[in-house]
Amino acid sequence: MALVAPSILSADFGNLAAEVRDVLDKGADWIHVDVMDGHFVPNITIGPPVVAAVRRHAPDAFLDVHLMIENPDHYVKSFRDAGASLITVHAEATVHLHRSVQVTKSTGAQVGVSLNPHTPESVLDYVLDELDLVLVMSVNPGFGGQSLIEAVFPKIERLRREIDRRGLKTLIEVDGGVKPYNADRFTAAGAHVLVAGSGVYKAEDRAAAIQALKEA
């Protein structure tokens, strides 16, 4: 069974509290919050005030905050204070990844590192033991509704082998182009957590989509 983390990027932002409660009521495990700054990625979405609003309306939700922003060290405390449960920074967005991981952990949040499609998992060799999660991007970040990049599967497999070899509890989360019809490819490769934006929020039947992802 996989954990399912619907991405609110594909939700109706004008009705966000209801959209978050809807997927939680329909079985979502986490809420994936895509934060974009218009510099690290060519899109701008939301910041700490919206995370705080989601936290107010979903006090028990696990908020999986994906920071697609430059210089994440400067913002992780604001996102933790807003209610983030887990904060993921991009390996490509910081000069000193080990320090960014330490700074994020110091907020009390769980910590993840995300890898863009071109970034080899070896980037994590010297921080992997510190991580609660690795977020493997299966699309180039910035938008929902994109098609998955096939090259991601061997990366997931190698990462899962390394995590298992080291005996770590680090979760592998995949993000981008994940749908009920392809989710089993990601879990077979070793993913634990499936992010799905359009695959859930644009589905005819959201509960069925979430259930299908869980069973992958």
Q: Is 173 in the site for Zn ion (CB under 5 A)?
A: no
Residue 205 designated active-site: no
Q: Is 9 in the site for ligand DX5 (CB under 6 A)?
A: yes
Torsion sign, CA atoms 13, 177, 134, 94? negative
Q: Is 37 in the site for Zn ion (CB under 5 A)?
A: no
| Residue with smaller CB distance to ligand DX5, 100 or 198 | 198
Q: Is 34 in the site for ligand DX5 (CB under 6 A)?
A: yes
For Zn ion (CB under 5 A), the number of binding residues is: 3
Residue 60 designated active-site: no
Spatial strand order in the sheet of 171-175: 3-6, 193-196, 171-175, 133-137, 110-115, 86-90, 62-68, 30-36
SS (H, E, C) 144-193: CCCCCCCCHHHHHHHHHHHHHHHCCCCEEEEECCCCCCCHHHHHHHCCCE
Q: Is 175 in the site for ligand DX5 (CB under 6 A)?
A: yes
Contact yes or no for 36/69 (Cβ under 8 A) = yes
Q: Is 146 in the site for ligand DX5 (CB under 6 A)?
A: yes
| String marking each residue 50-69 x if it binds Zn ion according to CB under 5 A | ----------------x---
**Residue 58 contacts which entry, Zn ion, ligand DX5, none (Cβ below 5-8 A, type-dependent):** none
**Residue 180 contacts which entry, Zn ion, ligand DX5, none (Cβ below 5-8 A, type-dependent):** none
Number of Cβ within a 10 Å radius of residue 44: 13
Query: Which residues of the shown chain bind Zn ion in the complex (CB under 5 A)?
Result: 34, 66, 175
